[in-house]
Structure 1
Amino acid sequence: MRHSRNPLVFLSLALVLVLAACGRGGGSDSAPEPGDRAVAKVQDQTIWASDVKREAVAQGLIGEGEPLDVTSDLFRRVLDEVIDQKLLAREAERRGLDNSALAQRRLEATRERILGDMLVENVVNGAISDQAVQTLYQEQLRLARTSEEIRVRLILSRTKPEADAVIGILAQGASFEAVAQERSIDEATRFSGGDLGYSTADVMPQAYANALRTAAAGSTVGPFQTEGGWAVLRVEDRRRESPPTLDQARPQIVRYLTYEGVRQLLEELRGKAKVDVLLAAESGAPQEPASAAPARAAPSPTPTAPTTTAPAPAAPPVATPAPAATPAKAAAQ
């Protein structure tokens, strides 16, 4: 039985046409990668396991470098899609659709994009070493300014007399958690004993930050008025904010190094090349060429390597991920 197919897979037909245009007469029987495995044959063209995996990466079904078991249902589904792509490409060739000037320009544009991505893979990605990641991580740690995190519990009341009554009950030795469950109107935290978790003062509502500025761990603060009602807080703990580990920061650092490498490569190439932009400044709205794609046309397939036209992001900050719950959430109730 044939597996169900995703209609969006046909957006990558252009890639298949490029390969067909560059190598008519049948695919090679030589493995494109060491240890590769032939998994199907469409007429005289061999489909390799690496072809299927590359398509799965392009569709976002697996990440770059992740394994894809040839016996899995996902592999069989993507293999069916690759077979369909090749059949469509062959039929397009048979009908002569690849011979028009427009088709040739689109094929060449796709070919250039693929070659540009391969250049990035070979030149930029190949230069990103563990040492480079470690060096940037240590530099970011040196520049990072860690803040203090405060863990608090909340009891939110509708009126000040209700909040004053809460203070009286707590003064008699009642458990803050039990009073929060019984009396707090903040539905987001009452069933956890009012626990707001750890957060820093800069993400708190101003009223919370002001009240907690000098409060020591173990102290009770309030009542004070907020947008959501009258708040009573207990300070559970104060600690210095912890920076992420190297493993947590690695994906962002690698992304930054990749885009920075692309930026430098393009800067070098533009410095060597003669580039003339032929657009003259004209009044009025820009005119699209007659052959331009409609505004809602489907996008081209996602390349497996970072596109060389993307802007370089700022250097990755070393900061602690946002806490699961903050007073801001409670105040919004």
Structure 2
Amino acid sequence: MGAEQPVRILRLAGLLLACAFAVTACGKGRGPEQPPERGDQAVATVDDQTIWASDVKREAVSQGLIGEGEPLEVTSDVFHRVLDEVVDQKLLAAEAARRKLDKDPLAQRRLAAARERVMGDLLVESVVADAVNENAIRNLYQEQLKLAKRSEEIHARQIVTATQAEAETVKKLIGSGASFEALAMEKSTDAATRFNGGDMGYFTTDVMPEAYVAALKSAKKGQLVGPVAVDGGYALIKVEDRRLEAPLTFDAARPQIVRFLTYDQIRDQLEKLRGRARIVRLIKGEAQGPPAPPPADAPKAQPKPAESAVTPAIAKGGTR
């Protein structure tokens, strides 16, 4: 318990700031409370203030302990640990109110700023919930499938020898019917592939050294290529298969698409709000340094499906 206490205390600072705008309500008498969500469960009370299961889950999400929408059983250790933190949060907030710390002008501005952050989050959640739905996600996935460029994958095996003469000898053995896999384990000097029969798995040529690219460019399935001069000696390469790279599945692409659509909606909302508002900067000069970069999967220019960063992700869905 002793080792966890400092971490818990540090968390409380963030917890208090997150709900600071509600401090003035702490400690005041209230009537019977209604569940904030349908099917919600009261899990504790602090001086007659009810803590609901949804309060604990929301705090667990904010700490990254569970994902949005993921279940959190009230019997779990995580739930009870977060519940303790929410109880502590209420106790500290109530004591701050009792000492009238919320009446200080600076405290009032901090409370107002915290409230603005929460209100902004509520607006974003509302906008995103309306626009980022299953149909929008699936439609963008299908659009990206049509636009995605699929590279060719090659499945090959190799035997690497120190000299060209050794490679020619091994090639003759293969030609006479010897097993490529057995010879790889016996003769190959490449430690990475030797003990699995020379298997290099599936790969695209853009990740391979130029010597392999040139040798495999026109090789057919089942063909034996080489000897080819490579780093570390000479390679005999057997082409097991050639296929188009499989696109990323919908389930795998979904998180990236959701992030893209979410970013797109937030950006559009902010552009509309800024367009309607009268904003006057009272200080001179521009912001120093480059602007904060958008999410990795956000669009670089106009939010057209063809220009989004979702496309390469879907195109790179093959097994490696």
Amino acid in structure 1 at the alignment position of 2:316: T
Check if 1:250 corresponds to 2:254: yes
1:133 Cα deviation (Å)?
1.6
Indicate conservation of the 8 Å contact 2:20/2:114, yes or no. Answer: no
On the 8 A contact 1:220/1:235 being kept in 2, the answer is yes
Match of 1:60?
64
Describe how 1:182-201 pairs up with structure 2 within 5 A.
182-201=186-205
% identical equivalent positions:
54
Question: Separation in 2 of the partners of 1:200 and 1:49?
Answer: 50
Q: Quick check: 1:222–1:233 contact (8 Å CA) kept in 2? A: yes
2:123 to 119, 125, 130: 119
Number of residue equivalences: 301
Instruction: Name 1:149's counterpart in structure 2.
Output: 153
TM-score by length of 2: 0.83
Structure 2 spans left out of the alignment, 5+ residues: 300-307
Please give the secondary structure, in 1, of the residue aligned with 2:158: strand
Displacement after TM superposition at 1:12 (Å): 2.4
Question: Which of 311, 314, 319 is residue 315 of structure 2 equivalent to?
Answer: 319
CA separation of 1:18 and 1:169: change in aligned 2, threshold 3 A: farther
SS of 1:178's partner is helix
Partner amino acid for 1:25?
K
Q: Are the aligned partners of 1:3 and 1:77 in contact in 2 as well (CA < 8 Å)?
A: no
Rounded to whole Å, the distance in 1 between the matches of 2:27 and 2:155 is 66
Residue 14 (structure 1) aligns with: 17
| Unpaired runs of at least 5, structure 1 | 287-308, 325-333
Contact kept, 8 Å, 2:155 with 2:201, in 1: the verdict is: yes
What is the CA RMSD across the aligned residues, in angstroms?
Answer: 2.8
Cα distance in 1, alignment partners of residues 54 and 33 from structure 2 = 14
Q: Who is 2:240 aligned against?
A: 236
Query: Is the Cα–Cα contact under 8 Å of residues 156 and 232 in structure 1 kept in the other structure?
Result: yes
Q: Which amino acid in the other structure matches residue 212 of structure 1?
A: L
Task: Give matches, 1:161-172, under 5 Å.
Answer: 161-172=165-176
Deviations 1:94-138 (A, max 9, x none): 444434333333332222222111111111222222221222112
CA distance in 2 between partners of 1:224 and 1:96 (Å)? 81
Instruction: Give the secondary structure class of the aligned counterpart of 1:20.
Output: helix
Give the number of the structure whose residues are more often helix, by fraction. Answer: 2
Matches of 1:97 and 1:159 in 2, distance apart? 81
Query: Greater relative contact order (Cα 8 A, min sep 6): structure 1 or 2?
Result: 1
Alignment of 1:80-159 (within 5 A): 80-159=84-163
The alpha carbon displacement at 1:255 in A equals 1.3
How far did residue 50 of structure 1 move? 0.2
